[in-house]
Amino acid sequence: MASLGIFLFLCLLSAAQLSRSQQPGDVDLIKAEHVQPLGGWSSVNSQNPEVHKAANKAVEEFNSRSKTKKLFQLVEVTSATSQVMNIILYKINATIGKTNCLKSEAIDKRSCVLRKKYLACEFEVALDPRNNTFEVISSVCRKQPQK
Ligand SMILES: *[C@@H]1O[C@H](CO)[C@@H](O)[C@H](O)[C@H]1NC(C)=O
Ligand SMILES: *[C@@H]1O[C@H](CO)[C@@H](O)[C@H](O)[C@H]1NC(C)=O
């Protein structure tokens, strides 16, 4: 029954196209049939704990890749957006800061002190809800312009 319905619909559609083929209304109708629902980006509260986990994961990766000997820390998330699909994608703008701690030190990171050297970062992190794993997709950090 369903395929018959579609068949009839297509017949009606092509009949309509034939009879009014030059009218712009038909173009709109056909376009609308092919529009895929797009997963849009929506803003997320910058205090959101999942966003902070994602940002910290990105900072961890930043630390493992950066050439500096000092440890960087998340200072604040300035803004964030997310897109929910089969995974959750976060785009995060954050400030990170250099600390007095050495990366090689196995210390309590909460005791590290910021050294007033800040970077503005844009992170993209994916959260896979099936195993609750964060994966850093991209990470770009620049020197924060002096205020
Ligand atoms: C992050 O900052 C950049 C540059 O200012 C901006 O284009 C982008 O939209 C921001 N992203 C988020 C998630 O706020
Ligand atoms: C989590 O699941 C995804 C998709 O199933 C997989 O690609 C990824 O490797 C998994 N991560 C871990 C740490 O198991």
Cβ 28 under 6 angstroms from ligand 2: no
* pLDDT per residue as tens, the chain (147 positions): 444 444 444 444 444 444 444 444 444 444 444 444 456 899 999 999 999 999 999 999 999 999 899 999 999 999 999 999 889 999 999 999 999 999 887 778 778 999 989 999 999 999 999 999 999 999 999 997 655
What φ, ψ does residue 84 adopt, rounded to 5°? -100, 120
Cβ 93 under 6 angstroms from ligand 1: yes
Whole-number pLDDT of residue 20: 46
d(C-alpha 92, C-alpha 125), whole Å: 8
Asked if residues 123 and 58 have their Cβ atoms less than 8 Å apart, the reply is: yes
Size of the chain in residues: 147
Whole-number pLDDT of residue 138: 97
Whole-number pLDDT of residue 107: 75
Give the rounded distance of the alpha carbon of 70 from its chain centre: 28
Cβ 56 under 6 angstroms from ligand 1: no
Contacts of 113 (CB under 8 A, 6+ apart): 99, 100
Structure tokens at 89: 């994608």
Which of 29, 24, 36, 28 lies closest to 12, judged by CA? 29
d(C-alpha 136, C-alpha 143), whole Å: 20
Cβ 138 under 6 angstroms from ligand 2: no
Whole-number pLDDT of residue 118: 95
Whole-number pLDDT of residue 146: 58
d(C-alpha 53, C-alpha 10), whole Å: 50
Angle formed by the axes of helices 24-34 and 2-19, nearest 10°: 150
Question: Which pairing describes strands 114-128 and 88-102: parallel, antiparallel, or unpaired?
Answer: antiparallel
Ligand 2, atom 14: closest residue by C-alpha: 131
Note the ligand closest to the C-alpha atom of 127. Answer: 2
The CB density around residue 137, as the number of other CB atoms within 10 Å, is: 13
